[in-house]
Amino acid sequence: MRETHTATVFFAGDRAYKIKKPVDLGFLDYSTVAARLAACEREIELNRRFAPDVYLGLGEIRSPDRETSEPIVVMRRMPADRRLSLLVRERAGIEDVVRAVARQLAACHAGAARSREVDEQGTRDALSSRWEAGFAQVHALTADDRSVPEGVEEVERLVRRYLAGRKQLFDSRIEQGRIVDGHGDLLAEDVFCLDDGPRILDCLEFDDLLRYVDGLDDAAFLAMDLEQLGAPEAAAFFLAEYSEYSGDPAPPSLWHHYVAYRAFVRAKVSLIQALQGAPGAEAASRRLVATALRHLRASAVGVTLVGGLPGSGKSTLSGALADRLGVTLLSSDRLRKELAGIPAEQSAAAGYGEGLYSAEWTARTYEALLDRASALLACGESVVLDATWSDAGQRESALRMAERTSADLVALHCQVPGDVSAARLTTRAPGASDADRDVATAMAAKEPAWAEAVAIDTSGPLESAVVQALAVVRPWSTGQLPIFRRPRMEPD
């Protein structure tokens, strides 16, 4: 026998029989036989999408007087030693089975029902409502002398900030057809890795609206569970494989946000189980809230200004920092020449404040730089902006842009001794920047203070500067988080 907060499953021979519990949990109500019958019928219909040969049909248990009966779901019994959760715990080689599950889930999503009603659940506001309902339920479950798990308040703040600036991202997901009638409750213990392919069981049937989700949200539930089982690398690999099979270009921030959402949903379930007396459930809820919090911190969309005089190493640091963070790099030097219609490597050298470096051209360049950054931030993409940032007005414009997109802004000011920058400018190869020692000297004479920026010493090894920058941009540790990066979508 196995028990969940809503059902009991009995195993006998080659069959499994699931009975719904007569419970009313607010978000589901199985308190009547009619409600349990409808839930059983719906479970069979929906789960046959993922495992048609497992869900055999509807049965019933009758009392000796045959006046009362209880509906049951009759299933083909799966081999317990092929549960994905067990394979993960035993540290078995799971790369192939995880890939197979990702492929099957992507295929199911490709053929899943889509409609206006389904799409409505993919909006930013619909997701916000689900989060807010979860917050309310957690507070209600902890109202009677039970403390709210630590971190819930920060979870609420980070969720609201992320969603506030990301309407365009969620609108684009709907336009791409990413919202599906999915599984809704994808856990590793419900995935069985058989020789002829995986069987995915036990989808969410009690509320259609909770099953109408972004396909990435659906996949994120299993990624969250794999991480909870101590396999963060498998979690990251699964999401990368799912994204490749589904051709999904979602930004990593959305991956993290959906994993956080699924962890918080599971934390709520653990609180319910704790009230039912399940051992270890309260500790599990605290652990899951902590997981949600880590991923929400990682999902925060940010804009990093990397500034400094010519020869300060700002472009080198910008590139290395963007690579380390896995975010988009925008360079004012390259954008300036793009706007002028010339190759980035072609020289446009001129005196200080002349030619392409006049006040008018500089204003146009920074305006375009912030416009492109704003569009990326609204779509969940963090950015590093490589420019001198020597004008206070341009810095203020960047701050206002970050506020409009609910993005975290960090300013880094690259600094080196004068002799170091002079040596660099004298010996560096031709590139996107045209500034020479004379331009750098003129700029240094007029450079205003930048009190709100964090000074980064770039006179030493590049890695040292990167470490300094990361301590500012990502002050919390990501050591326990899977590294979510998009797979390559273009052909080899």
State the CATH number of the domain containing residue 368. 3.40.50.300
CATH number, domain containing residue 137 = 3.90.1200.10
| Same domain for 95 and 64 | no
Is residue 486 included in any domain, yes or no? Answer: no
| Same domain for 197 and 66 | no
Give this prediction's pTM.
0.87
Helix axes 281-299, 152-164, angle to 10 degrees: 30
> Can you tell me the mean pLDDT for 361-389?
96
| Same domain for 215 and 85 | yes
Predicted local distance difference test score (pLDDT) of residue 492: 32
> Can you tell me the mean pLDDT for 267-280?
89
| Same domain for 256 and 199 | yes
Confidence band, pLDDT 50/70/90 cuts, at residue 379 = very high
| Domains contained in the chain, number | 3
Among the three residues 28, 55, 75, which one is the final residue of a domain in this structure? 75
Is residue 143 included in any domain, yes or no? Answer: yes
Confidence band, pLDDT 50/70/90 cuts, at residue 323 = very high
The encoded tokens of residue 186 equal 């994808």
| Same domain for 217 and 251 | yes
Among the three residues 238, 273, 299, which one is the final residue of a domain in this structure? 299
Among the three residues 75, 98, 132, which one is the final residue of a domain in this structure? 75
Is residue 485 included in any domain, yes or no? Answer: no
> Can you tell me the mean pLDDT for 25-30?
87
The tens digit of pLDDT for each residue in 243-267 reads 999 999 999 999 999 999 999 999 9
Predicted local distance difference test score (pLDDT) of residue 475: 76
Q: Which residues pair with 191 in a beta bridge?
A: 200
| Same domain for 10 and 153 | no
Q: Which residues pair with 305 in a beta bridge?
A: 385, 411
Predicted local distance difference test score (pLDDT) of residue 428: 73
Predicted local distance difference test score (pLDDT) of residue 484: 56
Residues 352, 355: Cα–Cα separation, whole Å: 9
Is residue 482 included in any domain, yes or no? Answer: no
pLDDT over threshold 90, residue 79:
yes
Mean of the per-residue pLDDT values of the chain: 90
Residues 462, 349: Cα–Cα separation, whole Å: 27
Q: Which amino acid, one-letter code, is at 30?
A: Y
| Same domain for 264 and 230 | yes
Is residue 479 included in any domain, yes or no? Answer: no
| Same domain for 39 and 149 | no
Residues 38, 205: Cα–Cα separation, whole Å: 10
| Same domain for 362 and 289 | no
> Can you tell me the mean pLDDT for 190-214?
93
**C-beta of residue 9 within 8 angstroms of C-beta of residue 77:** no
Residues 141, 135: Cα–Cα separation, whole Å: 10
| Same domain for 230 and 91 | yes
CA distances, 151 to each of 278, 289, 449 (Å): 22, 7, 37
Give residue for tokens 């917050």: 135
The percentage of residues in the chain with a pLDDT greater than 70, rounded to a whole number, is 95
Is residue 478 included in any domain, yes or no? Answer: no
pLDDT over threshold 90, residue 52:
yes
The percentage of residues in the chain with a pLDDT greater than 90, rounded to a whole number, is 72
Helix axes 392-404, 359-378, angle to 10 degrees: 20
| Same domain for 334 and 268 | no
The tens digit of pLDDT for each residue in 10-21 reads 999 999 999 999
Predicted local distance difference test score (pLDDT) of residue 226: 96
Is residue 10 included in any domain, yes or no? Answer: yes
> Can you tell me the mean pLDDT for 209-214?
93
- Give the residue numbers spanning the domain of 142: 79-299
The tens digit of pLDDT for each residue in 98-156 reads 999 999 999 999 999 999 999 999 999 999 999 999 999 999 888 776 677 889 999 99
| Same domain for 277 and 347 | no
Is residue 481 included in any domain, yes or no? Answer: no
